[in-house]
């Protein structure tokens, strides 16, 4: 099974230090929807693992988050693709959950859902927590320069991290 796991904010859609708090604020990055659709049409299963501490912080509710994800699925479907499982961590930094990145709980949940091993599966993110979560379960850490990627690139990267301009470039590589 060709499985690719994506972070959401800063990889699929624009991110903001003020959080993405509404459907109107959820704006796909250039080429991101097409990248997911291209991969899906080529037989890849594309899943998402996203921290959403804004829920715990009360910035938005679950219905709003689900509206964003319904819009994401709709946009991918309009380009002939299908988005796989979306897993989110609703907790805050002090909740001590197992799912908030850099903990790998969401990656493990995705692997269990599809009954596949995580070793070598690419996890594409824009933050250090994404890369560390990948390393924790032997996924391949992949950094994109969108979202917080340039800030992340300015720091030391986990061994083996691959770097791409954006999600479109990741798709181009995987489909080449």
Ligand X SMILES: O=P(O)(O)OC[C@@H](O)[C@H]1O[C@@H](OP(=O)(O)O)[C@@H](O)[C@@H](O)[C@@H]1O
Q: Which residues are catalytic?
A: 7, 9
* Element holding 99 (H helix, E strand): none
β partners of residue 22: none
Q: Applying CB under 6 A, what is the total number of residues that bind ligand X?
A: 16
**Closest Cα partner for 144 from 119, 120, 161?**
161
Minimum Å distance from CB 174 to ligand X? Answer: 20
Minimum Å distance from CB 9 to Mg ion? Answer: 4
> Does residue 68 bind ligand X (CB under 6 A)?
no
122 CB neighbour count, 10 Å cutoff: 18
Stretch that binds ligand X, among 13-21, 33-41, 110-118, 163-171 (CB under 6 A): 13-21
Q: What length is written for the chain? A: 176
C-beta of residue 130 within 8 angstroms of C-beta of residue 141: yes
Minimum Å distance from CB 101 to Mg ion? Answer: 9
Omega cis (within 30) before 102: yes
**Applying CB under 6 A, which of residues 52, 108, 128, 152 lies at the interface with ligand X?**
52
The contact set with Mg ion (CB under 5 A) reads 7, 9-10, 126-127
Question: How far is the C-alpha of 169 from the C-alpha of 167, rounded, in Å?
Answer: 5
> Does residue 166 bind ligand X (CB under 6 A)?
no
Residue 10 or 81 having the CB closest to ligand X: 10
């Amino acid at each position: 099974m060709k499985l690719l796991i994506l972070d959401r904010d800063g990889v699929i859609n624009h991110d903001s230090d003020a959080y993405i708090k509404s459907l109107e604020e959820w704006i796909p990055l250039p080429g991101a929807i097409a990248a997911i659709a291209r991969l899906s049409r080529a037989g890849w299963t594309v899943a998402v693992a996203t921290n959403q501490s804004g829920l715990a912080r009360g910035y938005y509710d679950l219905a709003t988050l689900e509206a964003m994800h319904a819009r994401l699925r709709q946009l991918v479907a309009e380009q002939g693709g299908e988005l796989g499982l979306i897993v989110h961590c609703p907790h805050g930094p002090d909740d001590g959950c197992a799912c908030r990145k850099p903990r790998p709980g969401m990656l493990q949940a995705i692997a269990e859902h599809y009954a596949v091993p995580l070793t070598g599966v690419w996890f594409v993110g824009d933050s250090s927590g994404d890369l560390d979560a990948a390393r924790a379960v032997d996924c391949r850490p992949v950094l994109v320069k969108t979202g917080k990627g340039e800030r992340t690139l300015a720091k030391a990267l986990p061994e083996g991290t691959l770097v791409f301009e954006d999600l479109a470039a990741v798709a181009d590589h995987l489909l080449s």
